[in-house]
A and B are shown apart, each in its own frame.
Chain A
């Protein structure tokens, strides 16, 4: 890149640039911008209609509860598993390390099916016992939290593991040899150095959790004003010919996810400097 010899001839450079920009514009930017356009075609009418629709407001509240619960679970589990995978040796470590990535390649519908098979109250391996204890999982909020936690599980781990591996454990060992206990070492030494990785992981998990659709559809039963999340409302409103509300709700979800990735991209360079 430094020397002129290593640059492509101008037509090639322009050709590649044009190809990349046009492709991304046609595939992503233009379609996404249309949702904004349709949502605000009548000013704020569509958005305010959607926000006064009890189906939508209930779904948005439920989505927030489910997504936040799943993010908190994955934050605690993710940071802990990352520390175990990087700092400790134990039999089965390689298998565990490979298996935590599994949720990324499993279809959301299969995730939903798997959870229904395990947790349904009539035949489920755990579901029958939980039902006897009076806990309903499938067609209720706990099942939707499980489904969301399942699909977003690897995101925190994938961010934290490389950072933990890179910083090494000299400082942690020094801290311990000076008499700090495990909790103090974690809070004073480990946590500050993985802080940004944890933040990215959380933001990405939040984006993924707010938008989960297939797995939640299977385990929730999709009952209006009970177990219908925002993404399920988009589908049912669109199929019920209430396109304005579908677009407005889709816009809110898209805005949330775009804010998440912009936050991540703004934070990233800060860490390097």
Chain B
């Protein structure tokens, strides 16, 4: 934390204009901002990791390999991966339709995509329960099953791939596609060879966000999944149970595991994205 606090004298000048240099008051302002960020985010998250390891590595390992935690991790990761794959396909299709198609009501579809992002997660769980719960008007009841976890994650992660792919698709120039078509390529070939490669980085970025959100989801599952130990309990719920049982060290251990997985995925996909971007 102290490494990011910047004394004015070490600040470098950016350009000859001097607009980029840190003068006294600005350096103080940077210090205040970094201090606030540390008090709010960095130190508390750091404490999660140190608390997890406070009873030694053996206890940490024992917590995250206990059958109930392992089963929660398995459920969470498997469902998050499945939902991310679904989003890669459906998100790309929806983005395609929003950019390339024209039909009445398209503007409404565009706004509806953002609802899962803005809707409170507990309300998301409640609305899904209304259509896919015990009182379902269409007779589909997934409440308290693993399918309910999949459903809730699909709801809350819907906007990510759509919103990362959409702007890239809008920017694509039509002339390359025209050239491919004039050289005899069919639409499918053009899509596979011309369009898809330029979308891959944005799809990967959306997938990373979708997966990270998926494994950390809590609110929408509370009412929907029933939180049955070993069956429909996700890692976030496991962490909360540890907290409510007055066992912060175990809660912190499971939380640390989640932090590490989320961080690893984001870094991995960032690397893939850079590689693809460089090649393209």
A residues near B19, Cβ cutoff 8 Å: 87, 169, 172-173, 176
Quick check: is A104 within 8 A (CB to CB) of the other chain?
yes
A residues near B121, Cβ cutoff 8 Å: 108, 211, 213-214, 231
A27 touches B158 (CB 8 A): yes
Contact of A9 among B115, B187, B252 (CB under 8 A): B187
Shortest C-beta distance, B88 to chain A (Å), equals: 14
Inter-chain CA distance A207–B212, complex, in Å, is 20
Quick check: is B109 within 8 A (CB to CB) of the other chain?
yes
The listed residue with most B CB atoms (<10 A of its CB), out of A92, A102, A214, is A214
Inter-chain CA distance A265–B14, complex, in Å, is 37
Chain A 104-125 residues near chain B, CB threshold 8 A: 104-119, 125
- B40-79: CB near A (< 8 Å → 1, else 0) gives 1111110110010000000000000000000000000000
B residues near A109, Cβ cutoff 8 Å: 218, 236-237, 239-240, 243, 255
Stretch from A17-25, A47-55, A191-199 contacting the other chain: A17-25
Inter-chain CA distance A261–B181, complex, in Å, is 39
Quick check: is A250 within 8 A (CB to CB) of the other chain?
yes
Quick check: is B259 within 8 A (CB to CB) of the other chain?
yes
- Least CB separation from A207: chain B residue: B118
A108-B216 contact, Cβ under 8 Å, with A23-B94, A214-B236, A250-B123: yes
Contact of B181 among A6, A111, A182 (CB under 8 A): A6
Chain B 91-126 residues near chain A, CB threshold 8 A: 93-94, 96-98, 100-101, 103, 105, 109-123, 126
A residues near B276, Cβ cutoff 8 Å: none
Inter-chain CA distance A213–B10, complex, in Å, is 42
B29 touches A80 (CB 8 A): yes
B residues near A213, Cβ cutoff 8 Å: 120-122, 218-219, 222
Quick check: is A40 within 8 A (CB to CB) of the other chain?
no
A residues near B10, Cβ cutoff 8 Å: 90-91
Inter-chain CA distance A80–B34, complex, in Å, is 11
A246-B12 contact, Cβ under 8 Å, with A77-B33, A107-B216, A260-B118: no
Quick check: is A64 within 8 A (CB to CB) of the other chain?
no
- Least CB separation from B266: chain A residue: A105
The listed residue with most B CB atoms (<10 A of its CB), out of A8, A114, A126, A204, is A114
A24-B109 contact, Cβ under 8 Å, with A13-B101, A35-B123, A84-B29: yes
Interface of A is mostly: helix
A residues near B196, Cβ cutoff 8 Å: none
B243 touches A238 (CB 8 A): no
Inter-chain CA distance A184–B67, complex, in Å, is 61
- A151-163: CB near B (< 8 Å → 1, else 0) gives 0010000000000
- Least CB separation from B242: chain A residue: A113
Contact of A24 among B21, B25, B113, B120 (CB under 8 A): B113
A218 touches B243 (CB 8 A): yes
Inter-chain CA distance A231–B121, complex, in Å, is 9
Inter-chain CA distance A260–B218, complex, in Å, is 23
A89 touches B20 (CB 8 A): yes
A106-B120 contact, Cβ under 8 Å, with A20-B97, A146-B40: no
Q: Measuring CB to CB, which residues of chain A are less than 8 angstroms from any residue of chain B?
A: 1-3, 5-6, 8-9, 12-13, 16-17, 19-21, 23-24, 27-32, 34-35, 38, 77, 80-81, 84, 87-92, 95-96, 99-100, 102-119, 125-126, 146, 149-150, 153, 169, 172-173, 176, 182, 204, 207-208, 210-214, 217-218, 231-232, 234-235, 238-239, 246-247, 250, 253-254, 257-258, 260-262, 264-265
Which 10 A-B residue pairs are closest in the complex by CB-CB distance? A211-B120, A107-B216, A114-B44, A92-B4, A105-B212, A257-B118, A31-B127, A34-B130, A213-B219, A207-B118
Q: Assuming A8-B100, A99-B41, what are 7 further A-B pairs, CB within 8 angstroms?
A: A20-B93, A89-B11, A91-B6, A172-B19, A173-B17, A235-B122, A238-B126
Task: Name 21 A/B residue pairs within 8 A (Cβ), A-sorted.
Answer: A3-B174, A16-B93, A23-B94, A28-B158, A30-B131, A31-B127, A34-B137, A89-B12, A91-B4, A102-B45, A110-B259, A125-B47, A149-B40, A169-B17, A211-B119, A213-B120, A213-B122, A214-B219, A218-B240, A235-B122, A265-B114
